[in-house]
Structure 1
Amino acid sequence: MEIRTLGVLGAGAMGNGIAHVAALSGLDVVLVDTAQAVLEKSMATMRKNLERQVQKGTIDAAAEAAALARVSPMTTHDAFAKCDMVIEAVPEREEIKRAVYAQVIPHLAPHAILASNTSSISITKLGRASGIAERFVGMHFFNPVPMMKLVEVISGLETADATVAAVEDLAKRMGKITIAAQDMPGFIVNRILVPMLNEAIFALHEGIGDVVSIDNGMKLGAGHPMGPLTLCDLVGLDVALEVMRVLHAGLGEDKYRPCPLLVNYVEAGWLGRKTGRGFYDYSTNPPTPTR
């Protein structure tokens, strides 16, 4: 099945990035969020990021204008009726995803695919909850979507081969490289990455090193493009915590137990860049370590 019109559910950082890349690749995009203010902020961010690409010379002004014209911001789920596929990009909590599926699925066309951008939750479980398991699949993008090339494609036990093929084709049209992951907690990337991030937070919690030393240690000693605590702030500490909890519950191993310091930061509302404070305070330039 060729996907011509793509729906994106949720206009936060991930939904915004997915809509950006899809529109730039020539797809008509229906971007839905029930909060008008979130939609307006999302469209402003998209314009800013596309303009940055124009300034860098990676696209021209005509491509920018065409991409923006392809995006239709909407606040109601019935806008998805004309979509061949919808990608859900709501917060990483199973109960939230189940609730929005119940609202969205009655509006989908009979052939439409529903994909979740979940980074850790079982696709089999979500697919069963959706009621359209054969047309349900995991399509995990990475933040920031316009820059990160990878998409994890995850099949549930009941996902049809045709659904997977359509999603892989879509990802390639969007300029992404796909990897196939089994439906296990955390899939491939987070199964490997999250314990490292958690261990970095434990190292901070136990006083083994301060924020700068830990980040510089992994950048200069392991060749990482950014330190693990900087990466946590970029991903969102609340998102990292939810993924750790899914891994800990699903695998039952202590190495996935979230560090108490991470829990404290999330409870304090220190969620990283999106709130202006996490392991760094982003009210200063350059950001100041908070510990």
Structure 2
Amino acid sequence: MFRPPPKSVVVGVAVAWVLIFLFFFRPTLELHFNNSEILTESYDFHETSEEAQCFKNIHASSKSPIPRVVHFLWGFGNHPEMTFMNYLAIRSALISLKPDTLKLHYEELSRDNIWFQRLQDNITLVHHNMTVEYPKQTKEHWQVSHMADALRLDILHREGGIYSDADVIALQSFNILLHNERDVILGHEGGDRHGLCNAIILARPDAAFLGQWIDRYNDFVPSEWNYHSVLLPKEMSLEQPSEICTLAPNVFFWPTWTHRHIRYMHADLSREEVVEVENLLDTYGGAFYSNQLAYHAWSQVAREEYLDRLTPELVKEKDTRFNLMVRRFL
């Protein structure tokens, strides 16, 4: 009679195979990820004609403008406590974008939180029950980040406005974009323009591009981490270019998420570098580039080492590119 091997043997064999795989294929994997970062960083700082046309709003629309309503999401997945980084993001939106309304969509929220209390008079709270609103996704155990991806699209499709992740620093007004002839505006991620990142989305209500993007979540695969949020909108923009305006990487998403770029933004600066950065910020209205409107802090990469350690005192006293950039929002 056949007896299955003990569980410990099965686990041991599995571990052995993983170790063998890593031993033989680690150089290949490292080369792949290094090449990915190299490609992501390979930006020549030249806008395409399409990107320039979108940014400069050459063909302004007679349609109603994109609503001057800013949407943030917070407190999903048992994370009710707002951080100092989130405070900076929301405060920068209030100062730079001057929205008619700033809505904080939440499921759980600590109202005793010091950063929330500093902002509460200037924000409109919108409560969500994700189990009720997304029963299918809840049953399928979607990750919180993927649920948030779906929610932001549904909010914008219904209401329009400007969606911003809670680690985005708005550096200048988005007014130049609000009268665009196209109903959706996204920024390229990576110098190689491999995707269109959903950390910042501008849209009119009922935008056709958003409706089709939402429909594509019907075949969502949870293991494909950034396909629906970054790669899919890029594919869709190539299929239907008249429905969307795409912006150069440095408008919203430069420097990018690579470890070298994260270190670049948070490294200590010499006195000469401080003067250079301050001159850039003065020249470009608080930005690093002439067409930069926002900076995405890439919290998935930078949170543990940098963003979670931020305090008002650290931002005031430590000279880094990031700290110099956000000091005016303290």
TM range (shorter): 0.3 to 0.5
TM-score norm. by structure 1 comes to: 0.36
Q: With structure 2 as the length reference, what TM-score do the two structures score?
A: 0.33
Structure with greater contact order relative to length (CA < 8 Å, sep ≥ 6): 2
